[in-house]
Amino acid sequence: MKKGKKLYEGKAKIIYASPEKNLVIQHFKDDATAFNNQKKATIDGKGILNNRISEYILSNLNEVGIKNHLIKRINMREQLVKSVEIIPIEFVVRNIATGSLTKRLGIEEGTILDYPLIEYCLKNDDLGDPLVSREHILSFNWMNIMELELINDQCKRINDFLQGMFRGVGIKLVDFKLEFGRSGQDNEIILADEISPDTCRLWDSRTEKKLDKDIFRKDLGNLIEGYQEVAKRLDILHEQSNIRPIKFPKPKAVKIKKK
Ligand code: TMP
Ligand code: ASP
């Protein structure tokens, strides 16, 4: 598919025009940033992994009725997606306290939250994506109340689905960030952007080893190995790629004693 002109460039992705009406091409870069762009690096293969993982998650969400922008993956780094007007709010859903929640409110690291907590951040790099309240959102018309209620509901449904999906492959979904957009003439709200180890915190269920962008944020080791582990467990790393495969030990046969 022929790419049109660049429409927007963010920190980890580029949006290009596509030959198809109302559709655009989302390109995943290898660039990684943290702490509002203060820490930067290019990590070979990150974009390829995020493209695959996000495709897998969004197509599964589509199958359970969560409408989203994904049409199809078109190559190793790109997806054809619906063109949306992005709502300028990042929706953060938390199951376990870590990251900015612990710093901001002094909640103990690792506290399991009684209910999923939804936080809203204004998408504005110059201001450092500040936390905002429902009242800010409504007062400044970033969304209307119906849109806000609908998105809150979707955040909870997405959390339920993703928690189950990751639990099944031995991963704790600690927290994640979602973005939504308005699509088509009737401004239908749909999930957009990406869901990947760049935008989620994913811990190995048993060891709590970090498998997400915290590896980069906190210099915990090889980010690609973490992302590959996520892809591998979700059983989506089959295609030949230029990412160096890592060897996994074969699981040992478990003998079950007869009573
Ligand atoms: P935080 O603890 O730094 O606020 O991050 C909460 C979650 O949101 C975590 O899974 C990382 C994700 N996130 C993004 O995807 N983009 C961002 O710009 C930020 C600040 C967080
Ligand atoms: N993506 C944000 C940044 O580039 C923050 C983060 O993910 O930690 O700074």
Report pLDDT for 249. Answer: 47
Report pLDDT for 247. Answer: 45
> Are 78 and 93 in a shared domain?
no
User: Ligand 1 pocket: which residues have CB below 6 Å?
Assistant: 92, 99-101, 129, 175-177, 199-201
> Are 162 and 180 in a shared domain?
yes
> Are 209 and 116 in a shared domain?
yes
Report pLDDT for 224. Answer: 98
> Are 152 and 98 in a shared domain?
yes
- Closest atom of ligand 1 to CA, residue 36: 18
Q: Do 211 and 135 meet the contact criterion of CB atoms below 8 Å apart?
A: no
Mutate to test the pocket of ligand 1, among 98, 109, 198, 199 (most ligand atoms within 8 A of CB): 199
Domain of 17?
6-82
Report pLDDT for 237. Answer: 84
> Are 212 and 117 in a shared domain?
yes
Q: What is the pLDDT of residues 70-79, one digit of tens each?
A: 999 999 999 9
> Are 57 and 105 in a shared domain?
no
Of 171, 157, 175, nearest to 101 by C-alpha is 175
Report CA(242)–ligand 2 centroid distance (Å): 26
Report pLDDT for 253. Answer: 52
Number of domains in the chain: 2
Enumerate residue ranges in the chain where pLDDT < 50.
Answer: 240, 245-251, 258-259
